[in-house]
Structure 1
Amino acid sequence: MANQSRNNKKIQDFEKEKLQAILQYKESVESTRGKSQDDFEKSIYLLGSGGLIVSLMAIEKIIELIDIIAFKYFFVIGLFCFVATLFSNLLSHKKSITESEKIIDKINQEPNCIFEDEFTESLENGNKKIDILNRISIVSLITGIISILLFFTLNFFTMSDKKPQPQNPPKPLTEEKGRTISTPPKIVAPKKN
């Protein structure tokens, strides 16, 4: 009887440890969800406003020189890549929030589900999707930066050759240095007969 009582105590201790592990895991998922929501809002603000400012500044300078700019496609590719970065980044945060909410709902319905293979597979599947979006974001950001750098670098070398040089105004016949006193008008005296 004492043996059975010790076994029951061990089972109860194990169940308490299991419940504690479930609660800690649920808390960490909720924390991740909260951080993802914060990052999502920050990303919308920072990337949206930063992209808008950079685009407006670049377009303002480009329009003045549109006739002599070469390799415009690098600029367009760079802009599309920055938009793809923003979009995939936002989707990644949104997916993380959605997956976290699904996990919390499953744990609320059945706390022991975190020990099942189906739960682990579902978790890994969601994390793979988030990882793919994160990789797209990184690759598109790097591609965008390289494209914009190529655009500016190549145009730096070609623009100086194509840009029309301003013509210097014609110099006066008598070159003046510093402040000079103008000569008085010449009046010709009439001839004496």
Structure 2
Amino acid sequence: MIAILSAIAWPAYLSMSSKARQTEARNTMGVINRSQLGFYQEESRFADSISELVFGIPVVTENYTYKDAYTGGTPGLIDNTSIPAATFLFANPQDTLAVKDYGAGVVLYSANGVVTLKSIVCEEQLTAANIPLEVIDGSGSFSQGGMQLNPAATFDADATRCDGVHYKTVLTDR
């Protein structure tokens, strides 16, 4: 009887445990994005590091490493030369089989004379899929899956988006 109950409860426990660990990444990425929005409004530039943004957010935790590249790279924010009006980072899981990957970004764009900052957090659709999250500027297309940060956008929906196949939007500033 106990074995049957354990067999039923164990998968549910593992699922809830993974969701709790993923909440860390989702919340941390949201805090970093909101901090980046405020930092840009005060300094007219994006922050160079997480420590420049928010006091007390570690770049390496038990569940994730927050990096400037999808794999490898150094912990912290990207020094973005390919999309100069944007910044982004990745949450790489310590256990790639149990929790999902995340990407987050902020882009500055101007539409009809109005300058706007917009942020997004993208979540991998399937745990353990390990599909590299590409960041594009709107002039190309995804080869696998990723996040668009388009400084040439003319409306909100074109400024930020996740590819929708491998990554989905979980947080946005509007």
TM-score range, shorter chain: 0.3 to 0.5
**TM-score by structure 2 length?**
0.32
**TM-score by structure 1 length?**
0.29
Asked which structure has the greater RCO (Cα within 8 Å, sep 6+), the reply is 1
Highest Rg: 1 or 2? 1
Answer 1 or 2: which has greater helix percent: 1
Answer 1 or 2: which has greater strand percent: 2
